[in-house]
A and B are shown apart, each in its own frame.
Chain A
Amino acid sequence: MSSARATSSPPPLIELQGVTKVYGHGQAAMVALHGIDFRIGRGEFVAVMGPSGSGKSTCMNILGCLDTPTGGRFLFEGVDVGRLTRDQRALLRRHYLGFVFQGFNLLNRTSALENVELPLIYRGIPARPRHHAARRALAAVGLSDWERHSPGELSGGQQQRVAIARAIVTRPAVLLADEPTGNLDSARSVEIMELLTAFNRDQDITILMVTHDPEMAAYAGRQIHFRDGRILADADGKERQ
């Protein structure tokens, strides 16, 4: 990687270089990622697939700047995230990333609307445009009539859609979604996928989505397959095996 090339072409949006992740120490050490390398360019829509326990969520947490790799480097727009401070990583999350957690992680006893507004509060958006944006995001996932309901009063699928609304309300540069359709019926899943596709296409939002469902993965332009903490295959949709 010569310096001439680094300056001439812009760095990829996301680049993982030999990323490893080890949980625990010594005897109890458990290697979740064995050196992952990939690049993701701006505007890509990537499906991450693989069996349970293969390290998909671990990788997503690292990409979401929530966790740090044990070894290797994670570059975000050429910046080594491992060198950033805690607060700098928080600001990166605040301004560039949207995250749909595998377990939703909505705030209890807080209305759907307020949950969706939360990332906008931390971005310092004033109340009026904030409400407006949150309503629009809820409408986009088909929950206009459920604004006032708290997570406890919503079904699993509805909670998942609130979580999606919360992730897209800020129009992040990168949307990281860990099984965003895991709790939805196929009709709903298709709606969500079309929503994400539209986001990816119209607003140039880069999407990484973990899914077990090949039909959902088919919406993505590229699929990365994990197995036992390694990348088994990485191909764009047209030429997948």
Chain B
Amino acid sequence: MLWETILLSLRAIRRNALRSSLTVLGIVIGVAAVITLVTLGSGATAKVTADIAAMGSNMLQVRPGQVFGGPGGARLSTVPFESADAVAIAREIPGLRAVAPVSSRSAQAIYGNSNWATTATGSTNAYLEVRDWPLAMGRPFTDGEVRAGQAVCILGHTVHRELFSGDDPLGATIRLGKIAFKVVGVLAAKGLSSFGTDQDDVVLIPLRTLQRRITGRTDVGTIMVSAADGDSTAKVQADLTRLMRERRRIGLDQEDDFTVRDMQEIVATLTGTTRVLTALLGAVAAVSLLVGGIGIMNIMLVSVTERTREIGTRLAIGALERDVLLQFMVEAVVLASLGGLCGIALGLAGAALGTRLLDVPFVFSPGIVAAAFLFSGAVGVIFGFFPARQAARLDPIEALRHE
């Protein structure tokens, strides 16, 4: 009987193909919106997480000054770090994989006729370890080169491409500003950071070389620390804070004049943000589903009025109240579910397109697809009930006399 009723309703829907499709448009759009937005949202979250993992997710950054209002906020100028701070961190704090003092300065890289504005980053080989960054060719710095501050460099992928257009750069001499550097290695490509900057647009040189030959100062901009695998970054963060407060002689009643940033915290913040966004977008889409449901109710009511004689005939022939109720409920549910299926197909297509445009991975979540389908069915049940009851309660003789 139920199967008959479903076939019957499919036939009724096909008979009014245009009107049926317009009726479910609301549901189609609502479901498609939910699917697209949630898929894009999960894709974005996955990308941010992957990017930060690529940056080294058990990485912490210590910088002088206090940041107000989150990353990129105002920074009070304070006493800068020195190389000795990095040495002390490596010596005093257990459970660290690597500690890298890092300073950067923008520089013009020149090779032959090629000229490229880039960033000169001064550090040690520990930098490669902290950032989990392998070499594409050549070798890292030697201890001697680092200690003596020799003019050697490792090129980022972008700089290599721009200056050498893919030729073998090892052993070649480039200039950063006025100083000549020998190329000893090339970094593997890392791509865009999650903030959209090109991580490969860099020339890595020994920290001492940067300090002596380019900036002329002994400052260290940032100390990057990588916790050993499986070690809690929270503990490392606490150790770092305690050690730096000691070294910088900060009194008990004083605020830190430096900042320790944990990448895992940033991951949490970023994914939290995208999750909130996804939820908001999902709520908007749910409202459109509601509107779609009201559309279904409206059309079902029109349909009941239009088909009053049919209902009368069915009742006269022996249909029970509940048979008519079932018929119209099933029709509403089938209609809404068909809309849901169309919406899912459309939504997945939209998500596929969107992920390509936004360059985020396509994360298929069966849960949300199932939920959207069930939800559209539920919309049919809820908004189909009232019109169906209206139909079932018709008086057969009145209904038969209806014009």
Q: Chain A: residues with CB nearer than 8 A to chain B?
A: 61, 64, 66-67, 86-87, 90-91, 93-95, 99, 101, 103, 105-109, 118-119, 121-124, 166
Contacts and interface: CB of A to CB of B under 8 A. Distances in A.
Contact of B400 (A66, A86, A94, A166): A66
Nearest to B1: A124
B318 A61 contact: no
Contacts of A108: 310
Contacts of B319: 90, 94, 122
B310 A107 contact: yes
A113 to B, nearest CB: 13
A107 B313 contact: yes
Given A61-B397, A101-B400, A121-B4, A66 B316 contact: yes
Contacts of B312: 105
Interface string B389-402: 00000001100100
Q: Would you list the 7 A-B pairs with minimal beta carbon distance, nearest first?
A: A94-B318, A122-B318, A105-B313, A93-B318, A67-B397, A119-B317, A66-B397
Contacts of B323: 122
B111 to A, nearest CB: 80
B6 to A, nearest CB: 13
Contact of B318 (A91, A106, A107): A91
B13 to A, nearest CB: 12
15 contacts: A61-B397, A87-B320, A87-B321, A91-B318, A94-B317, A94-B318, A103-B400, A105-B312, A105-B316, A109-B15, A119-B317, A119-B318, A122-B318, A124-B1, A166-B317
Contacts of B4: 121
B314 interface: yes
A64 B316 contact: yes
A55 B199 CA distance: 94
B315 interface: yes
A93 B317 contact: yes
A222 B312 CA distance: 31
A66 B396 contact: yes
Contacts of B315: 90
Given A119-B317, A124-B1, A166-B317, 14 more contacts: A61-B397, A66-B397, A66-B400, A90-B321, A93-B316, A93-B317, A93-B318, A101-B316, A105-B313, A105-B316, A106-B313, A107-B310, A122-B314, A122-B318
Nearest to B393: A86
Interface string B289-324: 000000000000000000001101111111111010
| Central interface residue in A61, A90, A95, A101, by most chain B CB within 10 Å | A90
B396 A105 contact: no
A81 to B, nearest CB: 14
Interface string B35-49: 000000000000000
A216 to B, nearest CB: 23
Nearest to B8: A121
B322 to A, nearest CB: 8
A124 B4 CA distance: 10
A118 B317 contact: yes
A118 B314 contact: yes
Nearest to B318: A94
A105 B318 contact: no
Contacts of A123: 318
Contacts of A124: 1
Contacts of A103: 400
A59 to B, nearest CB: 13
A13 B2 CA distance: 34
B325 to A, nearest CB: 12
A61 B1 CA distance: 28
Contacts of B321: 86-87, 90
A123 B397 CA distance: 21
B313 A95 contact: no
A16 B170 CA distance: 113
Interface in B3-18: 4, 15
Nearest to B7: A127
A26 B315 CA distance: 30
A105 B400 contact: yes
A66 B315 CA distance: 9
A129 to B, nearest CB: 14
Contacts of B400: 66, 101, 103, 105
A66 to B, nearest CB: 5
Contacts of A107: 310, 313
A124 B316 CA distance: 16
A90 B314 CA distance: 10
Contacts of A122: 314, 317-319, 323
Contact of A90 (B1, B310, B318, B397): B318
Contacts of A90: 315, 318-321
Given A66-B397, A66-B400, A105-B313, A95 B318 contact: yes
Contact of B309 (A61, A105, A121): A105
Contacts of B397: 61, 66-67
A105 B309 CA distance: 7
